[in-house]
Amino acid sequence: MLLFQTNMTNAVYHVFSRENTRRTKRAKALKNARKERFHEMIGEYRNIPDVESMERFVQHGNTSTLGHSENVAWISFLANEKLHLNADEKTLVEAALLHDFYLYDWHDTKSDRTVRKAHRHNHSDIACENAVERFEIPKKTQDAIRSHMWPVSIKKVPKSKEAAILCMADKYCAFVETIRMSKRLGLK
Ligand SMILES: [Fe+2]
Ligand SMILES: [Fe+2]
């Protein structure tokens, strides 16, 4: 009887253990596929000199503007998938990657309050104009970029699902980068 019970326990243990390994493998494969899809989406922009130039500008803490933009793109992409928000992936990732494509270091505006205030409200429009000029992005992507500073720019309200996700992801990343917790929380 004791031998029978031990054999049964071992058999059940093996079934569970095999199922766990299978689940872990499946989760890993999904995670890798997700990352690959994301890198494919941002890949076409990564070698463009103007996009690369954002690496030279500091955004928050020790994160560059390019690092911040990739963080916002990644969090937007992840939130869309994990929360089943069904936003258009291409619009979302493109808008997130280019939302701060204003191409200067905003710290240079720090010494002058008026210039700094102007940057806060205008940089989304400058980023959008730069993106349109270089990439001819569609209207929906443009609107998402222009409204990413809501509610700081109170009149530029996000009007699409993509714009709302980008707006939230931007706030989250700015906070995490400012307190220098990016690495711990899976950001750049
Ligand atoms: Fe911004
Ligand atoms: Fe931003």
Distance 155 CA to ligand 1 centre (A): 15
Residue type, 137: I
pLDDT at 1: 67
Dihedral-angle region of residue 112 (phi above 0 means left; psi in -120 to 50 means alpha; beta otherwise) = beta
Residue type, 165: I
pLDDT at 188: 81
Within 10 A of 126 (CB to CB), how many other CB atoms are there? 16
Q: How far is CA 146 from the centre of its chain?
A: 16
Distance 77 CA to ligand 1 centre (A): 18
Distance 169 CA to ligand 2 centre (A): 9
Distance 56 CA to ligand 1 centre (A): 16
Distance 166 CA to ligand 2 centre (A): 9
Both tokens assigned to 108: 């240079």
As residues whose CB is below 5 A from the ion ligand 1, the structure lists 100
Give the contacts of 184 (CB within 8 A, at least 6 positions apart). Answer: none
pLDDT at 136: 92
As residues whose CB is below 5 A from the ion ligand 2, the structure lists 100, 170
Within 10 A of 159 (CB to CB), how many other CB atoms are there? 14
Within 10 A of 108 (CB to CB), how many other CB atoms are there? 12
From the CA of 73, the nearest ligand is: 2
Distance 69 CA to ligand 2 centre (A): 6
What does the pLDDT profile of the chain (188 residues) look like in tens digits? 667 777 777 877 777 788 888 889 998 999 999 999 999 999 989 889 999 999 999 999 999 999 999 999 999 999 999 999 999 999 999 999 999 999 999 888 777 888 888 999 999 999 999 999 999 999 999 999 999 999 999 999 999 999 999 999 999 999 999 999 898 888 98
Within the chain, residue ranges assigned H as helices are 2-46, 49-52, 65-82, 89-98, 113-135, 139-146, 161-178
From the CA of 169, the nearest ligand is: 2
